[in-house]
Structure 1
């Protein structure tokens, strides 16, 4: 004969089992929902990347305090810069004037230097002012920049740099040709970061 105490314990045991089963089911459902939510976010992020047209320059570029961001990572930016058609053309011209005979990577690197200066608090706040800052880029001083017509490689190199391609580090602010430069102050006072073609880059 089963006592009331035994019946009570059996009832409590069944209730506990049902509770544990319900808890486990709810936990599994919550984990599945979380996995599905992450998958949806990942898919949305992938779609956002796919919609970025890498063949055309962006209308805005994005920065943190220390680096230029790609368009896909713009949500991490601490500030952004609206790019005008005039400044885009100036970027094409300075890259052509400085790196016409240089490897493609060197063209991207020249664009990187201009954008690094734009980001830095130690240089002017617009691309135009960076390029025309006194005694900084020799093609501006000698008039070569006004005479050149940007070729396809120069235009493409600028576009890729604006989209975040980097051939030199974000703290690279100088470059020169050691064989052609008349003023080697940068070479004697700054740290070399990379050599590309005839250009040596410094930070």
Structure 2
């Protein structure tokens, strides 16, 4: 083979190799795409995810006991006091209904104070005495219990050794005092001595600075 022929043959082989090298990437790309498409089923995966998400339970409004619902709590509605046209009517309407021990004891103490301090006074004056005792029990300046207010040392002259003297409970004046005590405790009538914490007989001059609230019968009431 001549020199020229050898050069031509080498050139032809080189050209053929270059053509194969240039076409290889395209073939590789085609070969790579096919297995990827077969191995990763994209279309089938997405519906599976969506289906799983769709089956998650949703929150619904179901009947349940909530803190503010009637089934969860008992609503206590206080009965409004019976309305009366006069204080005398309110006193006359009181009866000997049953009451628990604490209420009976407080009634007894309050009625005793009314009886000893104002049994000769008009019923408005008797209610005002009861108002003073009830106000003291709520004021924070005196004992919080009605009986303790009545028997507090140095407050009411009829108390002896911290004890209320015995009373003939059959007396009409005591029955009236008891009825007035019930009116006061039930708030069945507004006393004209509203807010009063002290009282004294008209003949006594008060010492200290007090605000006069009312004068009823033989008593003057202050706060």
Output the TM-score relative to the length of structure 1. 0.55
1:175 counterpart (180, 192, 199): 199
**1:12-161 map, 5 Å:** 48-49=79-80, 55-56=94-95, 83-141=102-160, 145-150=164-169, 151-161=174-184
5+ unaligned residues in a row in structure 1: which ranges? Answer: 1-44, 61-81
2:217 is aligned, of 179, 189, 197, to: 197
Q: Unpaired runs of 5+ in structure 2?
A: 1-76, 84-89
User: Are the counterparts in 1 of residues 151 and 163 from structure 2 also a CA contact under 8 Å?
Assistant: no
Compared CA separation, residues 138 and 110, structure 1 to 2 (3 A): same
1:97/1:145 contact within 8 Å kept: no
Out of 190, 203, 206, which is 1:166 matched to? 190
Whose helix fraction is larger, Structure 1's or Structure 2's?
1
* Distance (Å, rounded) in 2 between the aligned partners of 1:162 and 1:84: 9
Check 1:198–1:144 CA distance in 2 against 1; reply closer, same or farther (3 A cut).
farther
Residue equivalent to 1:71? none
Number of equivalences: 133
Once residues 141 and 173 of structure 1 are traced to their aligned partners in structure 2, the CA distance between those partners, rounded to angstroms, is 22
SS in 1 for 2:168: coil
The structure carrying a bigger strand percent of its residues is 1
Question: Which structure's CA Rg is the greater one?
Answer: 2
Structure 2 Cα separation of the partners of residues 55 and 108 of structure 1:
14
RMSD over aligned CA atoms reads 3.4
Alpha carbons of 1:178 and 1:141: their partners in 2 closer, same or farther (altered >3 Å)? farther
Q: Is the 8 A contact 1:114 1:173 kept in 2?
A: yes
Q: Secondary structure at the match of 2:215?
A: strand
Deviation at 1:115, TM superposition (A): 0.5
SS at the partner of 1:193?
strand
